C-alpha cells in the first residue's frame, strides 16, 4: 500500500471538526476515519454517510430466521406429541404466533449485535495506532492516510483548519 503514513489532527470542538471535514472533502483529501467521544449526526452528515449502515441486513436476516425457528419449534413439538383432542388436527396454528414473535425479536437482536461486532471488527485486543485515549473523552480526531510527499501539505492544512495538535504516525 502506498499510503502507509497517517496524519491525525486533533480538534476540541465539534463545529471545528465538522468544518474541517467539509473543507478536506471539498479539497478531495480522502478522510480515513473520524474519532469522536459521542455519536454525532453533524459528523456523519459532514462525511456524507447515510444514517443506517449495512447492519440492518443482519437484523432482517435474524428476524426471518427467528420467525422460522419459532414456528418450527411449535409445529415440530406438536407433531411429536400428536395429542389429538376432539378429532382436531394436532398442529394448532394460532399459538405458533407467540413463539414466532418472541424468536423474531431474540434472533433479530442477536444478529444486530453480531453484525455490529463483525462490521466493527470487535472484539479486538489492540487498538489502532491512530487511536488516542483522548478521543473517547473530550477530543475529536481526523485521520488521513497519505503518501510521504503529501503528508506535509495535509499536516499544514489540518493546522490551518484549527487542529489543536497534528501527529504523524508511521
Summarize as ranges the residues that interact with another protein (CB under 8 A): 12-15, 33-40, 43-44, 47, 49, 51-56, 59, 73-74, 77-78, 80-81, 92, 95-96, 98-99, 101-103, 105-106, 108-110, 112-113, 115-117, 119-128, 131, 133-138, 143
Report, in Å, the least distance between residue 165 CB and another protein: 13
Cell 441486513 belongs to which residue?
Answer: 57
Kind of pairing between the strands at 165-169 and 5-11: antiparallel
Q: What are phi and psi of 117, to 5 degrees?
A: -65, -40
Do residues 10 and 139 lie in contact, with contact meaning Cβ atoms separated by under 8 Å? Answer: yes
Q: Please state, in angstroms and rounded to a whole number, the distance separating the CA atoms of residues 82 and 156.
A: 77
Report, in Å, the least distance between residue 149 CB and another protein: 26
Q: Which residues of 85-101 are buried (b: 16+ CB within 10 A; e: fewer)?
A: eeeeeeeeeeebeebbe
Report, in Å, the least distance between residue 32 CB and another protein: 9
Q: Give whichever of 13 and 27 is closer to another protein, judged by the CB atom.
A: 13
Q: Give whichever of 141 and 151 is closer to another protein, judged by the CB atom.
A: 141
Q: Give whichever of 86 and 133 is closer to another protein, judged by the CB atom.
A: 133
Q: What are phi and psi of 13, to 5 degrees?
A: -115, 150
Q: Give whichever of 3 and 128 is closer to another protein, judged by the CB atom.
A: 128
Amino acid at each position: 500500500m502506498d499510503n502507509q503514513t497517517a496524519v491525525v489532527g486533533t480538534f476540541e470542538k465539534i463545529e471545528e471538526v465538522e468544518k474541517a471535514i467539509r473543507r478536506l472533502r471539498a479539497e478531495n483529501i480522502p478522510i480515513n476515519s473520524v474519532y469522536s467521544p459521542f455519536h454525532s449526526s453533524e459528523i456523519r452528515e459532514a462525511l456524507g454517510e447515510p444514517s443506517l449502515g449495512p447492519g440492518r441486513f443482519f437484523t432482517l436476516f435474524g428476524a426471518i430466521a427467528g420467525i422460522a425457528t419459532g414456528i418450527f419449534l411449535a409445529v415440530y413439538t406438536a407433531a411429536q406429541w400428536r395429542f389429538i383432542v376432539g378429532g382436531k388436527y394436532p398442529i394448532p396454528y394460532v399459538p405458533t404466533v407467540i413463539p414466532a414473535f418472541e424468536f423474531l425479536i431474540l434472533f433479530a437482536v442477536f444478529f444486530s449485535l453480531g453484525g455490529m461486532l463483525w462490521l466493527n471488527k470487535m472484539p479486538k485486543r489492540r487498538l489502532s495506532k491512530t487511536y488516542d485515549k483522548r478521543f473517547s473523552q473530550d477530543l475529536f480526531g481526523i485521520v488521513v492516510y497519505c503518501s510521504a510527499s503529501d503528508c506535509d501539505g495535509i499536516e499544514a492544512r489540518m493546522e490551518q483548519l484549527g487542529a489543536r495538535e497534528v501527529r504523524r504516525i508511521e
